């Protein structure tokens, strides 16, 4: 029986002084109920205060559900473990966008539509040449995705459902092409056009690693691995970058600009940049016997160092994606004949020690998706600077799906949080001649 049928309270009573207000309690299908405070300021003249939104539901959504205590992640109700194996990334994209798993015919049609939007406008390639070669690929990706709104004016009218879907398909289709172009530009190699006969992941690997001088043969084990990595990163409820996309979209900004905002937010090391930071951290640790030194630094309040790839705002259990990522890591290293990767040895030992340490156990800090992804992506041939680009590539479907859900929500309004003001009270201007 869910809470809506039980005798659970239908409202919460807020009492301030000798006044009381009833605040409605809303029930979801699963997960915590919410206290509806939309009218709180009008009724009480007071705001709620929740920096970092640790206890705040910003929206209603039907896309992704996370149970942080149990380590559960559902895309439209399907456990990530069940989607990451038999299906492929475009099946997950269809599921996130349309809400149901596709039939064979629907999947074939969706694959066809995405495949035929993978090319970008030819002038985009000139856009890249304005960057220095050593520009971080994330800076190139943010800029090039934002620039898409300069090319695709026929899919920026967000009030038109058809344009919203075309923009969604275009974003999913073109993000691998732009990501590969950012990589090729950074290493001074020519751009590679997509090939329609290849699947999404194979197409991406070929656009990244093929060169004009020889045929590129896709390794099916590796393309399956990168496809699965995309599935793991596809969506994750109202994380920082998804909330950024929703807030940007709430003003009516075009979808390409909203996705560019999400990429910018994902770049931070506390979020999507953690995969790049985690691999750098493993390199800095350098050997298994230096792990205790870094564990102590992570626990030292006076040291800003944190174990990158560890901890999560929602997961207070093992991130289910991290387990699948760890298995994929071993699969990729095995396929590539990498018998002992010293960084993997450090990662496995670091995890073992941390999970037994009272500091991490007490704070429920477990490896998250970023802990093993860096080792895997490096083994696949990507430089560290491309790790967050790959995260952004995969998360684009989640961002665009959440953006679409928000735009299509009849109760949608522009997001405009308030504040607790602790600055100067009103005072009069003093002409500069009289200032001391």
- Catalytic residue numbers read 312, 370
Q: Pick the piece of the chain touching ligand SDX (CB under 6 A) from 34-42, 145-153, 310-318, 417-425.
A: 310-318
Q: Report the residue closest to ligand SDX, judged by CB.
A: 311
- The token duo for 202 is 């194979």
Q: Using the rule CB under 6 A, is 306 a contact of ligand SDX?
A: yes
- Assess contact for 39 and 47: CB atoms under 8 A: no
* Phi then psi dihedrals of residue 75, to 5 deg: -100, 110
Length of the chain: 436
For ligand SDX, which residue of 308, 332, 380, 390 counts as binding (CB under 6 A)?
308
Tell the smallest beta-carbon distance from residue 232 to ligand SDX (Å). Answer: 9
* DSSP code, position 63: S
Tell the smallest beta-carbon distance from residue 3 to ligand SDX (Å). Answer: 24
For ligand SDX, which residue of 145, 307, 324, 379 counts as binding (CB under 6 A)?
307
- The token duo for 372 is 């093993």
* Phi then psi dihedrals of residue 68, to 5 deg: -65, -30
Nearer to ligand SDX, 66 or 166 (CB): 66
What CA–CA distance (Å, rounded) separates 376 from 332?
Answer: 7
Q: Using the rule CB under 6 A, is 297 a contact of ligand SDX?
A: no
Nearer to ligand SDX, 249 or 272 (CB): 272
Closest CA to 373 of 184, 204, 225: 225
For ligand SDX, which residue of 115, 243, 244, 368 counts as binding (CB under 6 A)?
368
Residues in region 257-276 near ligand SDX by CB under 6 A: 270-272, 274
Tell the smallest beta-carbon distance from residue 410 to ligand SDX (Å). Answer: 27
Residues in region 47-66 near ligand SDX by CB under 6 A: 52
Q: Using the rule CB under 6 A, is 363 a contact of ligand SDX?
A: yes
* Total interface residues for ligand SDX by CB under 6 A: 22
For ligand SDX, which residue of 312, 320, 387, 393 counts as binding (CB under 6 A)?
312
What CA–CA distance (Å, rounded) separates 370 from 387?
Answer: 10
Hey, CA dihedral for 9, 15, 20, 23, is it positive or negative?
negative
Q: Using the rule CB under 6 A, is 74 a contact of ligand SDX?
A: no
Q: Using the rule CB under 6 A, is 176 a contact of ligand SDX?
A: no
Helix axes 104-115, 89-98, angle to 10 degrees: 100
- The token duo for 279 is 């691999």
Tell the smallest beta-carbon distance from residue 338 to ligand SDX (Å). Answer: 24
Hey, CA dihedral for 83, 89, 92, 96, is it positive or negative?
positive
Closest CA to 416 of 237, 245, 247: 247
Interface with ligand SDX (CB under 6 A):
52, 236, 239, 270-272, 274, 298, 306-314, 363, 365, 368-370
């Amino acid at each position: 029986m869910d809470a809506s049928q039980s005798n659970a309270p239908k409202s919460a009573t807020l009492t301030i002084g000798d006044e009381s207000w009833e605040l409605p309690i809303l029930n979801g299908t699963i997960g915590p109920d919410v206290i509806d405070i939309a009218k709180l300021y009008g009724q009480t003249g007071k705001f709620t205060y929740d920096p970092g939104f640790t206890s705040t539901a910003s929206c209603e959504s039907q896309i992704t559900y996370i149970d942080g205590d149990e380590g559960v992640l559902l895309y439209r109700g399907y456990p990530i473990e069940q989607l990451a194996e038999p299906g492929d990334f475009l099946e997950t994209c269809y599921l996130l966008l349309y809400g149901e798993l596709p039939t064979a015919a629907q999947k074939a049609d969706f694959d066809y539509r995405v495949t035929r939007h993978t090319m970008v406008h030819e002038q985009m390639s000139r856009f890249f040449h304005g960057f220095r070669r050593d520009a971080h690929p994330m800076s190139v990706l943010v800029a090039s995705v934002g620039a898409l709104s300069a090319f695709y004016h026929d899919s920026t009218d967000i009030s038109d459902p058809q344009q919203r879907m075309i923009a969604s398909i275009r974003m999913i289709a073109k993000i691998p092409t732009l990501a590969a172009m950012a990589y090729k530009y950074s290493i001074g190699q020519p751009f590679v056009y997509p090939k329609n006969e290849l699947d999404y992941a194979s197409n991406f690997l070929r656009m990244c690693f093929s060169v004009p001088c020889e045929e590129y043969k896709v390794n099916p084990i590796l393309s399956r691995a990168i496809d699965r990595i995309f599935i793991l990163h596809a969506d994750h409820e109202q994380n920082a970058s998804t909330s950024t996309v929703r807030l940007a979209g709430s003003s009516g900004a075009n979808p390409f600009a909203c996705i560019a905002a999400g990429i910018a937010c994902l770049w931070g090391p506390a979020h999507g940049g953690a995969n790049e930071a985690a691999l750098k951290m493993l390199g800095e640790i350098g050997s298994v016997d230096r792990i205790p030194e870094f564990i102590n630094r992570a626990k030292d309040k006076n040291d800003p160092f944190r174990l990158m790839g560890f901890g999560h705002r929602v997961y207070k259990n093992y991130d289910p994606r991290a387990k699948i990522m760890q298995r994929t890591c071993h699969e990729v290293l095995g396929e590539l004949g990498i018998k002992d990767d010293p960084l993997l040895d450090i990662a496995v030992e670091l995890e073992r020690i941390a999970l037994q340490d009272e500091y991490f156990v007490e704070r429920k800090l477990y490896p998250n998706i970023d802990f093993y992804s860096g080792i895997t992506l490096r083994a696949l041939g990507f430089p560290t600077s491309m790790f967050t680009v790959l995260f952004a590539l995969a998360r684009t479907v989640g961002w665009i799906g959440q953006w679409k859900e928000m735009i299509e929500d009849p109760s949608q309004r522009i997001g405009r949080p308030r504040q607790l003001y602790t600055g100067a009270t009103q005072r009069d201007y003093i002409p500069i001649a009289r200032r001391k």
